[in-house]
Chains A and B, each alone.
Chain A
Amino acid sequence: MALKIVVCVKPIPDPAYYKDITIDPVTKTIQREAIPTIINPADKHAIEEALKIKEKFGGKIITLSMAPPNVIKNIHEALAMGADEAYLLTDKKFAGSDTWATSYILAKAIEKIGGIDLVITGTETGDGGTSQVPSQLGEWLKIPHLWNVIEFKIKNEKEVYLKTKIENGFMEWKCKLPMAIAVSREINTPRYTTIMGVMKAKKKPFQKLTFDDLNLDEKRIGLVNSPTQAGNLHLLDLSRKGKIIKGSKEELAQFIIDNLKAGGISVEADPIICSCEGETGNE
């Protein structure tokens, strides 16, 4: 049951160089060409999941990236990890696309590659971090999609079982391929890249696709045509303020809770009652 799998791999600016990022005052976009890029860490888990599926069922792993042309090193890294083929979508016309436009472009490329059984992405990126592209990609491709997947099992030809992590618990799902999944970092531990993998990387097929190669509506892509538009940008002062907070013990405890929430940590106390639906549960 060989499977053709596309893994979306996003090169992102290396966080170690965030301090060197500047803003173009006219286009209000991030100037990051000079910053070295790394593979989005969550995407390595996506590649690992694809490798595990290929080991079990056979097939082909194709990486797909939409980025400026200077990310070749990252493409080679993904091939060294074990992917079979790579595509890079690169064109000045793509620049500045929001998630709507980005997912549209990626979807058109996946359609062009054709015959895809599974699309795997990481659950979020280190730079934008919106987690929106996987869901929107699924919509464009008109296939079922889930994100924050912590378990993925292919039962047979077309039946798959998934677990997704939700607040305070998890949900279980059944689905049929083809589908798109965004995997959580909890799902696996990426294997080490081997030296043999490194030596094979540059010999693997690698293709660049531009606007002319894809069947795209030019009026729906790029900075100007994205539905969401960037307004003002504010660089934050990162020095620690060391603001002293005094108060009653209740006030201090509440301050901690409020800031945990503001920091994105879930403190919701609503417990979940376990329930299994079975096949017919959703009538």
Chain B
Amino acid sequence: MNKDIWVFIEQVQSNISGASLELLGEAVRLKSKMKNPGKIVAVIIGSQLSELIQVVSMFGAEKIYVADHRKLRLYQPDYYAAILTHLIHQEDPHILLIGATYIGSQLGPMVAIRVDTGIAAHCVELKIDDNDNLVAVVPAFGGKLLGDILCPNYRPQMASVKPGILEKPERIEVQSQIVPVDINFLSLVEPKLKPVGICCHEPKGVPLEQAEVVICGGWGVGDAEHWQMLEKIAAKLGGAVGCTRPALDEGWSQGEHTMVGTSGKSIRPNVYLGFGISGSTHHVCGMKDSKLIISVNKDEEAEIFNFSDFGLVGDIKEILPLLMQSLGIS
């Protein structure tokens, strides 16, 4: 039985998902922890993949299975799952890692059923134990709890990880063996489900109470110009903007309905990002149950830091333009 670590390389319109490359880097790290390591193998499915193969081989994939066909240009679950299943039955890998993206969150569990194995989803950490088995660490109950997940009796041991959780991969030049996959067997697959189009979002406003990320601004934002930056950043992230009473009174915010606090709204997003907020009880009561709280304030003694996971001491007027830049906002 080999100890190969497989990584599914996801691509959408010839853009490789960041999660896939991060997992490749992670595979390299995990291999180094194993007593009897195998190969690092990538599987890439799509159409016109020659450039992407180059990228994959730059990050440590020793073997790359390539299923390249026009039929596979748009993601179709049955085709992609059939190819992965076929390869798994053929090669019997030890571990299979997949990004917990839209595609991966469906493909992973589908393949797990077809090859009869377990999959740990949305892992925040991956480890190797003394028997060279994968240990996946997953959060539960909104992240209050972390649990180790093992899959000792079934192969491959599967895990999915969301983008941005793992370290950015490092370039490792390896001689990659490219193996084209013959997909003639797909003609036997007649899916009832057909993808007919793919399109970009119109950014739609998300209600404050439902947003996964909320950017709150206080008096320290300083002026309407910088407030606009908050609005743009929130829109880009698919989140919402909240304010404190002073920011509302200055006329920067969109209105009373965006005020967060005891006499305003209560929110509990995954990420709360506060700019120029002092941290009065009024406001804190409205956001203290957010999962991750990051506050930015130029005053190191700001009260808000006592209620934050991270307190960034810095000049908001300098940081906001840099954030816009990193997010590709003009």
Contact = CB atoms under 8 A, between A and B. Distances in A.
B113 A176 contact: no
Contacts of B197: 171-172, 274-277
Interface stretch (A54-62, A70-78, A98-106): A98-106
Interface string A221-238: 000001111111111101
B86 to A, nearest CB: 16
A270 B153 CA distance: 39
A24 interface: no
B149 A230 contact: yes
Given A171-B195, A228-B119, A276-B197, A245 B313 contact: yes
A259 B18 CA distance: 15
Contacts of A164: 102
Interface in B73-95: 73-78
Contacts of A99: 109, 119, 121
Contacts of B307: 240, 242
Interface in B145-197: 145-154, 162-165, 191-197
B13 interface: yes
A252 B144 contact: no
Interface of B: 12-13, 15, 17-18, 70-71, 73-78, 101-103, 105-106, 108-110, 112-114, 116-122, 135, 138-154, 162-165, 191-201, 210, 212-213, 237-239, 270-271, 273, 291-294, 296, 300, 305-315, 318-319, 322-323, 326-328
Nearest to B144: A18
Given A130-B121, A132-B108, 11 more contacts: A229-B149, A240-B309, A243-B311, A249-B319, A250-B322, A254-B326, A260-B164, A260-B237, A262-B292, A266-B238, A267-B237
A259 B196 contact: no
A150 to B, nearest CB: 10
Nearest to B168: A258
A174 B196 contact: yes
Interface string A246-283: 11011011111111111111111111111111110111
B311 A242 contact: yes
Contacts of A269: 327-328
A100 B201 contact: no
B12 to A, nearest CB: 7
B118 A245 contact: no
Nearest to A231: B148
Contacts of B74: 171, 277, 281-282
Contact of A139 (B114, B120, B148, B291): B114
Nearest to A225: B153
A115 to B, nearest CB: 18
Given A103-B113, A253-B319, A261-B163, A245 B310 contact: yes
A21 B144 CA distance: 10
The 8 residue pairs across chains A and B that have the minimum distance between CB atoms: A261-B164, A227-B118, A231-B148, A228-B118, A130-B121, A253-B322, A144-B193, A263-B271
A65 interface: no
B199 A263 contact: no
Nearest to B116: A227
Nearest to B317: A249
Interface residues of A, number: 97
Nearest to A140: B113
A202 interface: no
Contacts of A258: 164
B119 A272 contact: no
What is the interface of chain A mostly: helix, strand, loop, or mixed?
A: mixed
Given A172-B196, A172-B197, A173-B195, A240 B306 contact: yes
A260 B309 CA distance: 13
Nearest to B107: A135
A117 to B, nearest CB: 13
Nearest to A258: B164
Contacts of B213: 260, 263, 265
A227 B154 contact: yes
A247 B312 CA distance: 8
A38 interface: no
B144 A238 contact: yes
A131 interface: yes
A243 B41 CA distance: 39
A276 B144 contact: no
Nearest to A162: B193
Interface stretch (A79-87, A121-129, A190-198): A121-129
Q: Which of A30, A171, A227 has the most CB of B within 10 A?
A: A227
A144 B192 contact: yes
Contact of B76 (A23, A236, A253, A282): A282
Contacts of A23: 145
Given A169-B199, A227-B117, A245-B313, A282 B147 contact: no
A15 B289 CA distance: 11
A131 B76 CA distance: 18
A263 B109 contact: no
Contacts of A215: none
B148 A136 contact: no
Contacts of A33: none
A243 B142 contact: no
Contacts of B110: 135-136, 138-139
A100 B198 contact: no
B152 A147 contact: no
A235 to B, nearest CB: 6
Nearest to A268: B18
Contact of A234 (B75, B102, B147, B309): B147
A244 B311 contact: yes
Given A100-B118, A146-B106, A229-B150, A255 B192 contact: no
